[in-house]
Amino acid sequence: MAVYKRTYRGYSGPLTNPLWRFTVLQRYAFQAVFKSRLLLIGYVGCFFGPILLLCLLYLNQNASVLALVGQQVGFLKVDSSLFLNFISWQGLLAGILTAFVGPSLVAPDLTNGALSVYLSRPFNRSEYILGKGMVLGSLIASITLLPGLLVFAVQSSLVGFTWFTDNFYLGVGTLLSCLILMAVFMLLGLAMSAFVRWKIVAGALILGVFAAGKGFGAVINNVMETGNGYFLDLQYLLSTVAGGLLHKTPENDPISPWAAAVALLVFCTMLLALINRKLRVCEVAG
């Protein structure tokens, strides 16, 4: 019988560019996410609102069709309120999507001790977090950022270049609001998944952070007769920042957009610290 010498030989195949290595994780995680038919249906359902809005924008400028239903051109006012409501609605859907997708990203790796397998590759923790986070990030961007910018582009093309230049802040505001929304949801999904490790409870906790924060903030405002409870209300903070970016800030708002942005920054830092603390492979002392 022939005996072959079997010693370690390094991998000699093509290597993924280190800069884009995180996309490998994202690619495989995506496949796992869309195995659920219910989630896929829900995700497709998230595009119903944007498609409806795009149709309305088209009708809004189509005089012949509007004449048939007795309406005039411009019956729909396309301003910062419309964009803010659009982002709020899509943000609500993004929150629900995060509750369902987020927990399945990190929790199984931690429960089954797979993190060390990932990190034994030429792959560091930041890339792991980025790779897993981008699954959520790209899903959220596809239902908030892309439709938002598409709405802006379609309205600009229908009305003209003057509308585009006059309302350029709406496009920038939509872009920045959606990026902030994406960052918060991405970190929240990963942090809860790493913190609880049980998919169902992690999902409930993501929804609970919004609902309980809102309720507890209202309790503090009512009992203590203050407006500081809003700092616990994540949805309020996100709307305030988005309102500021879209030049739609109520006069008697108890929290300024800057204060809300700082509160969100503190919240994100806390989530990042939690992820950093939980995503540690076994450390040998000494």
Partner 1 sequence: MNPAQLNLWKRQILAIVRIDIARTFLSKRGLWIYLLALSPAVPMIGHSLSRETDQLGNDAQIFAGIFQFYYLRIAIFFGCVGIFINLIRGEMLDKSLHFYLLGPVRREVLIAGKFISGLAAAITIFCGSVLVQWVGMFMHHPTDLLWAYMFNGPGLSHLISYLLAAALACLGYGSVFLWAGVRYKNPLVPATGILLWEAANGVLPAMLKKISVIYWLKSVCPISIPAPKDNGGGVWNLLIFDIDPAPASMAIANLLLLAAFVMIWAGIRARRLEIGYGTE
d(CA 29, CA 124): 17
CB 163 → partner 1: shortest distance, Å? 27
**What count of other Cβ atoms lies within 10 Å of the Cβ of residue 263?**
20
**Per-residue tokens: 100:** 């369902």
**Per-residue tokens: 114:** 């797979």
CB 273 → partner 1: shortest distance, Å? 19
C-beta of 7 vs 112, nearer to partner 1: 112
**What count of other Cβ atoms lies within 10 Å of the Cβ of residue 262?**
15
CB contact at 8 A, 260 and 248: no
CB 275 → partner 1: shortest distance, Å? 18
CB 207 → partner 1: shortest distance, Å? 7
C-beta of 211 vs 265, nearer to partner 1: 211
List CB contacts of 109: < 8 A, sequence separation 6 or more: 115, 118
C-beta of 96 vs 268, nearer to partner 1: 96
C-beta of 128 vs 210, nearer to partner 1: 210
Contacting residues toward partner 1, per CB under 8 A: 38, 88, 96, 99-100, 198-201, 203-205, 207-208, 211-212, 214-216, 218-220, 222-224, 250
CB contact at 8 A, 135 and 105: yes
